[in-house]
Amino acid sequence: MSSRQKYDAIILGAGHNGLVCAGYLAKAGYKVKVLEKRSIVGGAAITEEFYPGFRNSILSFVVGLLPEHIIHEMELRKFGLRIIDRRISSFQAYDDGRHLLLTMDKKANFSEYKKFSSYDAEQIPHYEAMLSDIAKVIKQLSYQTPANLGTKLKDLARLGKTALTLRKLPQERYPEFADLFTKSAADFLEGWFESDAVKGNLALTAVVGNLVSPYHPGSSIVLLHSIYGETNGVKGAFGVPQGGMGSITQAMAEFCESKGVDISVDAAVQQVLVENGCVQGVTLEDGTTIEGKIVVSNVNPKLLFLHLMDQNDLPGCVIDRMRQWRCKGGVLRINAALSELPTFSCYPDLHPDAYTGMFKISPSIPYLERAYDDAKNGGWSKEAAIMWSIPSTLDESLAPKGLHVASIFAQHFHPNLNEGKSWDDCKHEAANSVIEKISQQVPNFRESIIGMQVISPLDLEREWGLIGGDIFHGQMHLDQMYMLRPVSGHADYRGPVKNLYLCGSGTHPGGSVTGMPGYNSAREIIKDFKRRKI
């Protein structure tokens, strides 16, 4: 059956980018429909009860890359968003009994780094200043629509704008800028620091959510995330939304609905309808047809082009590109309900504030390389690289009084297991290896677990449409970024079929909870509506 209303825009997926795009389109006066496969909006930025009485941000778990202007323009604080500052940045324990406790206090951090290397302690301020200089320019580029490869005047103008933006980078930073885009995280950090402990701590950022070796060329670009963030006006800071990450997307949904957006959950799309080379709407799995002037996809481009569209409606080059589009996340996600806070062997009297930060297990670059080697041929790390936190130390609403929740993000776990194994059969065994690794540093950790939820790479693909367990909708490598993301010739959020647009993390500037792909896409769509190109 067909819906009686025809929408200006139909958006596939109610993740944060889809909601941002919908909100800005509705704010501009357009009639928008949002379709979500799951029974709750939010995509990977959600809060759910994973064990009776315990709630958590079950996938993404920190905020810091969502621009303040989106928070303000979508009135997210009005709709309940409150971001709590973390008082500690990170804590890492080492097998030799030492620890690295980092805060927002640079003088205190200098003393912490000095325990491992006086040279590295002196280098850190220069390293952070370098990243900050480059991050300022990258942040400006993230707001710009990429040029498509070709010779159209508008693309030449975009390239000119990119060049003008790059000119703002201090001249002495150009070699480091080039290194960040081309070197491996290992090679880049080894040019700055001497201590294995310091390099391992910093390198973890480069492989989170990305099934690659720390020696993979181009992996160093993700190091910018460590300084790219901003929370409540504090540069380089990441926070915890009260009520979990779902409070962000719930606030976005309320803003959208206040502007007239029609959001449907339990509405899985079966096919994007194309007639005479132009998008007409979508068909849902229940047989319903919904008409729209345009369709905007917030799903992984591989899922869109290879599963939700008729191959006959697409250029062969797009199909070939999507078959080669690399999606390998390598993430095992664990949410645990805890009876007590962890006690670290190396620091049994850890200050309460330290529990508000991020715990790391990444003692060296060779350790990260071994974790990757274990996983690369269809297996998983015997000793995983781990980032974990206890958000209930900042947000008491997540757990019963006196109890806590832990968010555990572990690498590397290959999305396709060898020897015919399935993640449905192996995920608890893999999770046990992660718990064992944490317990080596935290003797009371295993006994403190009341219950837990384990989310495998297969779960991420099956439940959330994250192909290959890839939280970024496509690996963030140089050949899958900027004007090559997702398809050469269609990096400007306009699809290869008339009136088809993209707004998800598979477009520029990529993954993480930024809202920028949705924001940029909405800007281009509004331009096309005003120019009567739709």
Burial environment of residue 11 by CB neighbours within 10 A (0 to 12, 13 to 18, 19 or more) = buried
> Maximum distance among all alpha carbons in the chain?
71
Count of other CB atoms within 10 angstroms of residue 287: 9
Residue 1's pLDDT is 39
Instruction: Give the separation between CA 61 and CA 202, rounded to whole angstroms.
Output: 19
SS3 assignment, position 244: coil
Residue 2's pLDDT is 46
Structure tokens at 72: 């303000």
Regarding beta strands 32-35 and 2-12, do their DSSP bridges make them parallel or antiparallel, or are they unpaired?
parallel
Helix (H) / strand (E) containing 118: helix 118-142
Contacts of 444 (CB under 8 A, 6+ apart): 340, 342, 343
Q: What residue type is 46 in one-letter code?
A: I
Q: What is the pLDDT of residues 376-408, one digit of tens each?
A: 999 999 999 999 999 999 999 999 999 999 999
SS3 assignment, position 177: helix
Q: Which of 514, 185, 208, 509 is nearest to 358 (CA)?
A: 208
SS3 assignment, position 104: coil
Q: What one-character-per-residue DSSP string does 26-45 give?
A: HHTT--EEEE-SSSSSBTTS
Q: What is the pLDDT of residues 269-278, one digit of tens each?
A: 999 999 999 9
Q: What is the pLDDT of residues 45-90, one digit of tens each?
A: 999 999 999 999 999 988 888 999 999 999 999 999 999 988 788 9
Q: How far is CA 427 from CA 83, 209, 333, 337, 412, in A?
A: 32, 17, 10, 18, 13
Contacts of 477 (CB under 8 A, 6+ apart): 212, 216, 218, 219, 326
pTM score:
0.94
Structure tokens at 243: 């009520």
Q: Divide the 534 residues of the chain into consecutive groups of 10 and give the mean pLDDT of each group.
A: 73 98 98 97 96 96 90 97 88 93 92 97 95 92 90 82 90 93 95 97 92 93 76 76 96 98 97 96 96 98 97 95 94 97 93 91 97 94 96 96 97 92 95 97 97 97 95 92 93 96 96 95 97 86
Residue 481 phi, psi dihedral angles, 5° rounding:
-130, 165
Count of other CB atoms within 10 angstroms of residue 94: 18
| Residues linked to residue 9 through DSSP beta bridges, in sequence order | 32, 294
